[in-house]
Amino acid sequence: MFLNKTRLLILYLTVNLPLIMVTTASVQPSNDHKIKHKNSTKEISSLIVVDVQNCFINGNLALIDSSAKQDGADVVPIINHLLQTVSFDVIIYTHDWHPTDHISFYQNLNKRRQYLLGDQNKNYSLFDTVTYKGPLVQTEQVLWPLHCIQDTNGAKLHKDLIVESKSNVFHVRKGLNSDVDSYSAFWDNNKQQKTDLDSILRRWNVTHVYVTGLATDYCVAATALDAIDLSYTTYLVEDACRGVSLETIDKKKQEMKQRGITFVQSSQVKALVDGAICNRIYLILMSFSIAVSFLLK
Ligand SMILES: *[C@@H]1O[C@H](CO)[C@@H](O)[C@H](O)[C@H]1NC(C)=O
Ligand SMILES: *[C@@H]1O[C@H](CO)[C@@H](O)[C@H](O)[C@H]1NC(C)=O
Ligand SMILES: *[C@@H]1O[C@H](CO)[C@@H](O)[C@H](O)[C@H]1NC(C)=O
């Protein structure tokens, strides 16, 4: 009789508790049919925090001064909340990290006029797009103000962003080559050179990436598009990104949707990531409960 009660209790707890955990953790928002239930026990998730650096928040290229008037600082508490509540397997911080003679700076236009395609004496303004024929490759380039120069305060991550030193936390620098810009954290804009981001994710067997940060229409979009090209299941965490111009944000979002990137809100990420973990725990407990019930027979 005692044995029976114990057996029933253990069976009840081991089967039902995880079941409750799974059902509450994987509640899906009904308005987004694109989010699929996870059936794999091998999902490895990475959060990618793109360029949450001073230059884009309160520096020379502060997003708040651009046409969309979005404030880069807004993403900091949202990303921090994700970092504190969601068990990502791998966390990546990317850094725009330019030398002073970088091709992306308007201030360097005069030194590069011999490479301009078309009228080499034409007067350009900040934020104009030019085409340089070289010296490395022909490349289209927006003429940005000085930003994210290596080892300057502008290149530092925002002081309130949570950055832990753990074995699963990595920093990826991009835009180091003077002669080609790099919006994506995977490749430079002309796919001349890869950063080590893809090899880090592969080494950790990452299958799913959640992209956040600055700026939606440039480095965030470029990183997310390369991620899906490289076969990662890719999510854009929409409220954890801020951009430059409403027109390009809209254009890039359409391109991302068409290419198969899923848009989610930060409030949905925990269920997606930890849902997968709950499934793993549930399977382990299920087999444990079967074993126990046999032992008690
Ligand atoms: C779910 O299972 C099916 C069939 O085994 C598989 O083809 C599919 O890739 C799985 N989906 C995920 C998200 O792992
Ligand atoms: C560029 O601007 C300078 C100074 O404003 C002017 O003297 C020059 O003629 C302009 N060049 C062209 C090609 O418009
Ligand atoms: C990735 O998967 C391989 C093969 O299954 C495994 O040997 C390796 O330990 C995994 N790496 C990590 C970091 O889990």
Ligand nearest to the CA of 90: 3
Q: How far apart are the first and last CA of the chain?
A: 12
> How many Å lie between the centroid of ligand 1 and the Cα of residue 38?
8
Q: Over 50: is that where the pLDDT of 31 sits?
A: no
The pTM for the full model equals: 0.79
Q: What's the pLDDT at 92?
A: 98
Strand partners, 48: 92, 211
Band (pLDDT 50/70/90 cuts) for residue 11 is confident
User: Mean pLDDT of all residues in the chain?
Assistant: 89
Distance 103 CA to ligand 2 centre (A): 22
Of the candidates 38, 89, 174, 226, the residue annotated as catalytic is: 174
pLDDT tens digits, residue range 76-119? 999 999 999 999 999 999 999 999 999 999 999 999 999 999 88
The residue ranges of every structural domain in the chain are 43-99+151-295
pLDDT tens digit string along 41-63? 579 999 999 999 999 999 989 99
Q: Report the alpha-carbon distance of residue 45 to residue 264 in Å, rounded.
A: 15
User: Which one from 219, 226, 241, 253 is the annotated catalytic residue?
Assistant: 219
Distance of CA 94 to CAs 62, 145, 184, 186, 295, Å? Answer: 17, 20, 9, 10, 52
pLDDT of residue 22: 55
Overall average pLDDT of the 123-136 stretch: 93
The three-point CA angle 118-140-54 to 5° equals 130
CATH topology of domain 43-99+151-295: Rossmann fold (3.40.50)
